[in-house]
Every structure is written in structure tokens, then in C-alpha cells.
Amino acid sequence: MVPASKEPALKGQRILLCVGGGIAAYKALELVRRLRDAGASVQVAMTDGAQQFVTALSFQALSGLPVRTSLWDAAAEQAMGHLELARWADRVVVAPATADLIARLAHGHADDLVATLCLATTAPISICPAMNHRMWLHPATQANVEALRGRGVQVIGPEDGPLAEGESGPGRLSEPADIVAALAGAAPAGAPPRPRLHGLKVVVSAGPTYEDLDPVRYLGNRSSGKMGFAIAASAARRGADVVLVAGPVHLPTPAGVKRVDVRSAQQMHDAVFAALPADIYIGAAAVADYTPREPAANKIKKSSESLALDLVRTPDILAEVAASTQGRLRLVVGFAAETEKVAEYARKKLEAKRLDMIVANRVGVAGGGFESDSNAMTAYWADGEREFPSAPKTQLADELVELIAERLKS
């Protein structure tokens, strides 16, 4: 029996799942099961590489449909030709999308079944990259991903974390449940267009700041920057002119975003004000509230039993932006990471900093917050609020940008 669908958006959809040749191919098996649980029909096509990792038989058993593995299979072509299959699909999902497969799709190759299907289909395509983090961060891969995004391809993941080779970084295939949620969140063909941000300038701050104590040490925090980067990406996808002021993080620059890298709170302050005027400011960075009064010119040597640091307040960038007389600003959005009394403290910050909206989340709990890929949060404004249940940060960011676009209109 097919369990009740938690993702009604996928019910009845015909999904062509193209499996690439990476170690993460085994996760595509679970993806088939979850897509079917959501009420979709799934037809699988595999690259030669994918067949080195998982058998077609496994996919066939889970999808309940014959699996396509070659352009040159006369019997399969007779049952349903590859062009017919490309037409059959309501949407195409490529998971895992390896660096090579992404490159071939970006350049319009048709040298195997999967690439040909992706070229021949007119259905929306979603890719779920998975590869070594250095391959993901390579400018060639980033340019290929950017080209695909520019053509309207949805990019789901990759996630940051331990990789198969024992290293760690961005390159893990998103979890199947997150892929299904992201697919369900993407507007189906024919849906009313989402609020657009065309012609608007958006400045986003993201990540931590590092306050130097001496040439080798700093005060920092555990912000990963993922939320701010996802917000910048989402705003750019909606046509905004986006400047992303990023603290020290190892994240790829989202497509179509102008990135300014900074280290300290003061540098972030200066970069944000250099990027103004703007229509929207979103302060997603975890800015240090204090910085050493005078960083030591040389490494601080250990001497006495205890050491007191002399710290001074940093500029409150968000409050300064909200109070600035830059006439163009239409919406200033802040973030509040709280460990208790979330709503009360968030509303206090909304008022004290004279913001238009504050987005609060509880930190210090398992499965959410700074380093996690998922989060739950609530947005508050003067006479309203909206709760966002736990979801991948990319999806939350998209929903938040949608709310921001709505609030801008009202």
C-alpha cells in the first residue's frame, strides 16, 4: 500500500530519475521509494557509471518500471523510444549529478542516454550534485552549474559534511527526504509566478565575523553562512541585483550574486554601507558584538595564570542600516538566534532596532541552528508573524524571500 502522501505537490507526477555514476547512487534507491510514497510514478534511467555502483534490477524492483540503461537497446526503444520517454516526464531529476554529468548537461551533449534525455525533454529539470568538494568548488563546475541555473534548472544541494573519501566539505548528495521536499517546493509547471524582485537591489550579510586578537588568534562564532547564502541565491533567482557581504566561510558564490568577502565586524559594516543604497537589507550574519580594543601586533605569549581581554562594542550594522537615511530602503530584515524566550526577545529586537521584520530561530538544540542544514524559524513583523516548520535551509530561504517579496508589496 502506498502511504498517505506528505508532499501532495508530487502526487500523480511522472518523474524521470536519471542516476549518475557516483558512490551516492545508492541513495537514489531511497529517493525512488520516497518519490513513490509521495504519489509519483518514477521511471529510472542510468548512466554507464551508475551501473558500476548499483544494479538496474534494484531500481526496477523499487520503481516497478523497466529501467533504461542505453540508447542502443533495441527492445527498450521499441517499448518506449527515448524521445517518447523524454516527453513522458512531467519533470526530470538527476541524482546523483556528478561533475562530469553536470559538465555534459551544461554543454548540451547527447553522448549517452541520460544526457540525450535531458537535452530532449521540455520538462523542468532538477539536479542533485554529489562529488568531491574540490571538484564541486572548482570554477569549471561552478560555471557549469551557473549555466544550468541560468537555464532554469533547479539545483538541490550539495550538502556540507563528511565525504566518501574521508574528507569533508560541500559535495554530499542531499538526503532523499530533503530532495523530495525541495522538489515539492519548486513551483510545478503552470503555477502562478512567484513574486519577483526584478529591478530591486538586495544586500545580504552572511556568515560569522572573526575579530583578531593577535596575528594567529581570533574571536569567532559557529555561523556557517548557509542561510545567508541561500537567501542571496533565492533573491538572485527572483531577478534581484544581489550583493552578498560574506564573513569567513567556505561556501561557493551563488549564481548571479556579487560577493564581497570580509573578516571583521568593522569590515562587514564598511562593505554593507559601500553596497547601499539598496531596496532591501537582510542581516543574516552572526556579527561579533565585541572586538579586542587593540589587536596585539605580535603573538600573545603565555605568562600569567589568567588573561583578561579588553573588548569594545562593534558597530551594530543592522541597527545602523535601519536608522540610516538612505531613502531607497524599503525593508530591513534582521535575524535573532535565541536559546530561550524566542518570541519575546525577537520582538524586543524588532522594536529596539526599528526593523521591518525579524527572523528568529532557537539555537543550542539538536537538529537545527548554526551548523545544521535544516532549521525551523519564525518571522515577526509589527502586526503579524509566520512560522516556518523545520526544512532544509535552501527551502526555508526561498520561503522567506517569498514572504519578503509579499511584505514589500503590502
CB of 223 to ligand CTP, least distance (A): 9
Number of residues that bind ligand CTP (CB under 6 A): 15
CB of 28 to ligand CTP, least distance (A): 38
Between 205 and 234, how does the x/- string for binding to ligand CTP read (CB under 6 A)? x-----------------------------
CB of 214 to ligand CTP, least distance (A): 22
Among 95, 317, 342, 404, binds ligand CTP (CB under 6 A): 317
Q: Which of 329, 334, 237, 328 is nearest to 285 (CA)?
A: 334
Of 124 and 283, nearer to ligand CTP (C-beta) is: 283
Of 94 and 245, nearer to ligand CTP (C-beta) is: 245
Q: Is residue 404 involved in binding ligand CTP (CB under 6 A)?
A: no
Of 200 and 268, nearer to ligand CTP (C-beta) is: 268
Peptide bond between residue 96 and the one before it cis (omega within 30 degrees of 0): yes
**Cell numbers that stand for 402 in this block:** 517569498
CB of 379 to ligand CTP, least distance (A): 12
Alpha carbons within 13 A on the beta-carbon side of 84: 7
Q: Is residue 175 involved in binding ligand CTP (CB under 6 A)?
A: no
Of 163 and 350, nearer to ligand CTP (C-beta) is: 350
**Cell numbers that stand for 170 in this block:** 560541500
Among 22, 96, 283, 392, binds ligand CTP (CB under 6 A): 283
Give the integer Cα–Cα distance in Å for 28 and 180: 11
- List the catalytic residue out of 221, 298, 361, 375: 221
Among 314, 374, 394, 395, binds ligand CTP (CB under 6 A): 314
Of 42 and 329, nearer to ligand CTP (C-beta) is: 329
Instruction: Identify which range of 139-147, 176-184, 315-323, 398-406 contacts ligand CTP by CB under 6 A.
Output: 315-323
Of 99 and 350, nearer to ligand CTP (C-beta) is: 350
CB of 135 to ligand CTP, least distance (A): 32
Of 16 and 227, nearer to ligand CTP (C-beta) is: 227
CB of 398 to ligand CTP, least distance (A): 19
Among 40, 102, 145, 285, binds ligand CTP (CB under 6 A): 285
Instruction: Identify which range of 5-13, 83-91, 103-111, 284-292 contacts ligand CTP by CB under 6 A.
Output: 284-292
Cα 35 → chain centroid = 21
Instruction: Identify which range of 83-91, 127-135, 280-288, 385-393 contacts ligand CTP by CB under 6 A.
Output: 280-288
Report the 3 state secondary structure along the chain.
Answer: CCCCCCCHHHCCCEEEEEECCCCCHHHHHHHHHHHHHCCCEEEEEECHHHHHHCCHHHHHHHHCCCCECCCCCHHHHHHCCHHHHHHHCCEEEEEEECHHHHHHHHCCCCCCHHHHHHHHCCCCEEEEECCCHHHHHCHHHHHHHHHHHHCCCEECCCEEEECCCCCEEEEECCCHHHHHHHHHHCCCCCCCCCCCCCCCEEEEEECECCEECCCCCEECCCCCCHHHHHHHHHHHHCCCEEEEEECCCCCCCCCCEEEEECCCHHHHHHHHHHHCCCCEEEECCECCCEEECCCCCCCCCCCCCCCCCCEEECCCHHHHHHHCCCCCCCEEEEEEEECCCHHHHHHHHHHHCCCCEEEEEECCCCCCCCCCCEEEEEEEECCEEEEEEEEEHHHHHHHHHHHHHHHHHC
Cβ neighbours around 4 below 10 Å, total: 9
Bridge partner list, 223: none
The distance in angstroms from the start CA to the end CA of the chain is: 45
Instruction: Identify which range of 29-37, 167-175, 303-311, 329-337 contacts ligand CTP by CB under 6 A.
Output: 329-337
Of 88 and 290, nearer to ligand CTP (C-beta) is: 290
Q: Is residue 289 involved in binding ligand CTP (CB under 6 A)?
A: yes
- Footprint on residues 332-361 left by ligand CTP (CB under 6 A): 334-337, 349
Answer yes or no: 144 catalytic: no
Among 76, 113, 246, 318, binds ligand CTP (CB under 6 A): 318
The residues carrying an active-site annotation are: 221
State the residues that interact with ligand CTP by CB under 6 A: 205, 265, 283, 285, 287, 289, 314, 316-318, 334-337, 349
